[in-house]
Structure 1
Amino acid sequence: MKKLLLSLAALTLSFTAFSQGNNYVQNYKKFEGLAMTPPMGWNSWNKFACNVDEKLIRETADAMVSSGMKAAGYEYINIDDCWHGDRDSLGFIQPDPKRFPSGMKALTDYVHSKGLKLGIYSDAGSQTCGGRPGSRGYEFQDAQQYAKWGIDYLKYDWCNTEGLKAEGAYKTIAAALQRAGRPMVLSICEWGTDKPWEWGPAVGHLWRTTGDIYNCFDCVKDHGTWKSWGVMQILDKQEGLRQYAGPGHWNDPDMMEVGNGMTVNEDRAHFTMWSMLAAPLIAGNDLRNMSKETIAILTDKEVLAINQDKLGIQGLRLSVKDSLETWVKPLDGGKWAVTFLNRAKNPQKVNFDWKKTPITDDFAKRELNAGKTTYKIRNVWTKKSQGTTKKAFEATVPAHDVVLLVLSE
């Protein structure tokens, strides 16, 4: 009887093990501990589109160091679309041999030798937006290849995704990255169509909230079947999203156009507002050929400190009057960033009475009340003291420009 019971127990255990052996549970979540402040780096698309090769990437890495951008905190060199060659006989993606003759591993090693990190691009569909091989059906192989190359950041686009549901597709690539075992920042780029801010925080580290940015301060570029958006149009589309952003998970209003042809005033306003939004700061210009003004904007330590503030709270548009907007952003240590943005084509005057305008941020659970606390005021761009909140603040904001203040106790 005892032998019979032991045999039955062994049979039951064997059956249970066999039935459970077919269960394969995926980890659909991002790597934790990455992008605790908004990622800072560079991406090739805005300036170079499909004209990418290893020479450009190496020279850009060199320029990120020599320009002072690396010292300011920029670290990612991200290759966008069109780096792809064909897949090999086993299905593993290879770089274009003409554009990247040394191979991707050698390029990664070079970028790492500069103290920087390399990012790469793929697409959830059958083809990328530029017509190269997408990752659909090859997600786990592609993730293994990226890990083998030493990639640190993946931008994952949403072209040619017929029949796919965004949340499921991005969970698949997240699981593939987890299985490959190399921690990478995952940039979700499905243009905000399927409300990625609702499901993205568990899956990726940042998610695009809109379609593509366009190198224009205030306009829309109509491509027929789709549109790209000027800086102010992108800014407007961030309304209502601030509660979804925070350390390790960021709303992404797209890469920057600073240094790509707008005026210095417009570049300064663009950079300021991306910093107020706690947005990823991914430069999109030619780092090898920058003006002193462009370098000064991209590397301003005080503005970057607002963007990189450890609280990770996205700024709030407090008011709009005659194309003059007032934005506030709570900062660590009881500080506040306050921006007056002039969207008009003419200068505008600011007269802001701090004592008559107490500010309550319910989301951040913070209050700026000059009737209770006197704050010192620093003009961030001019690097000058502007007195305290005991007196109303008066200034003239140039056209398409900002006045950026930091208030501290």
Structure 2
Amino acid sequence: MKIHTKLLWSVLFLLVLYPLQAQKIQGLAKTPPMGWNSWNKFACDVSEIMIREEADAMAASGLKEAGYQYIVIDDCWQVTRDSLGFIVPDPQRFPSGIKALADYVHSKGLKFGIYSCAGDKTCAGRPAGRGHEYQDALMYAKWGVDYLKYDWCNTGKMNAEEAYSTMRDALFAAGRPIVFSLCEWGNNKPWLWGAAVGHLWRTTGDIYNCFDCKKNNGNWFANGVLQILDMQNGLRKFAGPDHWNDPDMLEVGNGMPANEDRAHFTMWCILAAPLIAGNDLRNMSPETKAILTNKEAIAINQDTLGIQGFKFVSKDSVETWMKPLCGGKWAVCVLNRSKSYRSVDLDWKFMSVTDSLSQREFNTSKEIFKIKDIWQNKEGGDTRKPLKAVIPAHDVLCLKLYRKE
């Protein structure tokens, strides 16, 4: 209790000293964050044992080497607040405390993340952050938190930008570099103001583990992969290094067939979306592991140019997407949204485009590109000849185009 009393005095000091000079901590997400979150697979069934095991799996499975670094506990780790208002972890599920768990995650060479909510209670009805922002931020810093996902349940008539800015200011005052993930669901257009507040912001409601569907949850709908993909239209101009559109976490490995998982993962890479796995890392199939660790796909997502891809053309349930990459390279992805195979013929001379966002031109009459199929891991000639392919239902052809020497 003495420690918490000292922390409370620290909170009061920060409230007086910092509000006029607070800002977002810069440079924490120069490329889209990569990690794992407990919610999609486990919901409230979280514990320190499981989180440790997931960290072990990330470190041992090849995901860490592929670039994944955050282990994030979502809702239900907290049960109450103490007499001074400090958040209390569930003593049954987290008997060693959150700091010990964060230390364990750090010992694996990974980073540790946690969840809270801007309202009075979290989405699962646990104590949330409203009115305790500076207290919580100071506690997160003391515990060694590196990433905060901040939800938007039970907020009443709160102003989203003001609520998230308050937590931003608290994180700045606490003095620890913590990636701030705004999980506001896109209701208040966070892409218009989020860049000054957080490092990524949700653009939609929750994802659901299906490729093309909606799930009715009574007073709200969860969306499948294609539904969320369609909701990204018009948002690419707001994304870039340190401020990313977030179409929600990945469902790869949670029950869809491999072709749909592959298409899902590829489109999130084209979107320059955060890659936050949501499966059980302890029990991955070879197909799931291969998808989540594909180096070429991840390189497209993590490209330092920081440009979100765009839909170039759509015809007969087939969409062609393009993403400019650093070094004059391009990613070209052909998505088959239909339930049957589609034959495609990419005639490069008819695919000239100038991307006003990146100021990059794609014109094969001026420049010849070599072609690599990133899922087949095969070189495929160059852009002097059309490329013909058959794409299975709910699958993708994803190509990296690079300059011919």
Please give the range of the TM-score, normalised by the shorter of the 2 chains: over 0.9
**Amino acid in structure 1 at the alignment position of 2:226:** M
Could you say which residue in structure 2 is the equivalent of 1:148?
A: 142
- Equivalent position of 1:295 in the other structure: 289
The residue aligned with 1:338 is 332
Aligned residues: 388
2:42 maps to which of 26, 35, 48: 48
Please state whether the residue corresponding to 1:288 is helix, strand or coil. helix
Is contact 1:124-1:170 (8 Å) kept? yes
Cα distance in structure 2, aligned partners of 1:234 and 1:261: 18
1:112: how far off? 0.2
Q: Which amino acid counterpart does residue 95 of structure 1 have in structure 2?
A: P
Spell out, residue by residue over 1:222-256, the C-alpha distance to the aligned partner (whole angstroms, 9 max, x if none): 11210000000000000000001001000000000
Contact residue 28 and residue 203 of structure 1 kept, 8 A: no
For 1:7, the equivalent position in structure 2 comes to: none
CA positional deviation for 1:29: 2.4
Q: 1:358 is matched by which residue type in structure 2?
A: S
* Residue identity in the other structure for 1:71: E
Corresponding residue of 1:139: 133
Distance in 1 of aligned mates of 2:22 and 2:193? 11
Matched, 1:188 2:182: yes
CA distance in 2, matches of 1:359, 1:200: 29
2 CA distance for matches of 1:87 and 1:79? 18
Does structure 2 conserve the Cα–Cα contact (< 8 Å) formed by 1:28 and 1:171? no
Partner of residue 397, structure 1: 391
Structure number with bigger Rg: 1
> Which SS does the other structure have where 1:145 is aligned?
helix
Contact persistence 2:113–2:147 (CA under 8 A): yes
SS at match of 1:228: strand
| Equivalent position to 2:303, from 306, 309, 314 | 309
After TM superposition, list the pairs within 5 Å mapping 1:208-227 onto structure 2: 208-227=202-221
Question: Distance in 1 between the 2:127 and 2:220 partners?
Answer: 22
Q: Which residue among 247, 258, 261 is the counterpart of 1:253?
A: 247
Q: Is 1:59–2:57 an aligned residue pair?
A: no
CA distance in 1 between counterparts of 2:108 and 2:217 reads: 39
Given candidates 351, 356, 362, the residue that maps to 2:350 is 356
Amino acid at match of 2:262: R
Q: Deviations over 1:84-141 (max 9, x none)?
A: 0221111110110001000001001000000001100000000000000011011100
Equivalent AA in structure 1 for residue 24 of structure 2: K
Counterpart AA for 1:37: T
TM-score (norm 2): 0.95
Determine if contact 2:307/2:358 at 8 Å carries over to the other structure: yes
Q: Distance in 2 between matches of 1:362 and 1:287?
A: 40
Aligned to 1:11: none
| Paired residue type of 1:120 | I
Letter in 1 for 2:250: M
Q: Deviations over 1:384-408 (max 9, x none)?
A: 1111100111100110000000111
Structure 1 position 352, deviation (Å):
1.3
Gap runs ≥5 in structure 2: 1-15
Identity fraction in percent: 66
Distance in 2 separating the partners of 1:321 and 1:158: 37
Contact 1:28 1:172 in 2 (8 A): no
For 1:36, the equivalent position in structure 2 comes to 30
Q: Is the 8 Å Cα contact of residues 300 and 331 (structure 2) preserved in structure 1?
A: yes
User: Residue 157 of structure 1: CA displacement?
Assistant: 0.2
After superposing on structure 2, the runs of 4+ consecutive aligned residues of structure 1 that deviate more than 6 Å are none
Aligned pair in 2 of structure 1 residues 377, 84: CA closer, same or farther (>3 Å)?
Answer: same
**Residues 24 and 371 (structure 1), Cα distance of their counterparts in 2 relative to 1, 3 Å cut:** closer
Q: Which string of whole-angstrom CA distances, capped at 9 and with x for unpartnered residues, describes residues 33-53 of structure 1?
A: 101000000000000000000
CA distance in 2, matches of 1:203, 1:62: 32
How many Å apart are 1:162 and its aligned residue?
1.1
Offset of residue 356 of structure 1: 2.2
Distance 1:391 1:29, change over 3 A: same
Contact persistence 1:95–1:103 (CA under 8 A): yes
Counterpart secondary structure, 1:355: helix
SS of corresponding position for 1:58? helix
**Two-structure CA RMSD over aligned residues (Å):** 1.0
Amino acid at match of 1:45: W
Distance apart, 1:27 and its partner CA? 3.8
1:391 alignment partner AA? K
Say whether residues 1:367 and 2:366 are aligned partners: no
Query: What is the CA–CA distance in structure 2 between the aligned matches of 1:356 and 1:69, rounded to whole Å?
Result: 38
Matched, 1:114 2:108: yes
Structure 2 residue matching 1:225: 3-state secondary structure: coil
Structure 1 residue 28: deviation in Å?
4.5
Tell which deviates more after alignment, 272-281 or 218-227: 218-227
Q: CA deviation at 1:359?
A: 1.7
Given that residues 29 and 204 in structure 1 are in contact (C-alpha distance below 8 angstroms), is that contact kept between their aligned partners in structure 2?
A: no
State how far apart, in whole Å, the 2-side matches of 1:328 and 1:89 are: 55
Query: Residues of 2 paired with 1:56 and 1:117: CA distance?
Result: 16
Q: 1:214 & 1:26 partners in 2: Cα distance?
A: 41
The AA in structure 2 aligned to 1:377 is I
Q: 1:165 aligns with which of 147, 155, 159?
A: 159
Equivalents in 2 of 1:174, 1:28: separation in Å?
Answer: 8
TM-score (norm: length of structure 1): 0.94
Runs of 5+ consecutive residues of structure 1 not aligned to the other structure: 1-21
Matches within 5 A, 1:23-102: 25-102=19-96
Task: Supply the distance in 2 between the matched residues of 1:161 and 1:39 (Cα, whole angstroms).
Answer: 26
For 2:365, the aligned partner's letter is G
1:127-176 deviations in Å (ceiling 9; x for gaps): 00000001101110000110010000000000000121000000000011
| Alignment correspondent of 1:270 | 264
Secondary structure of the residue aligned to 1:190 is coil
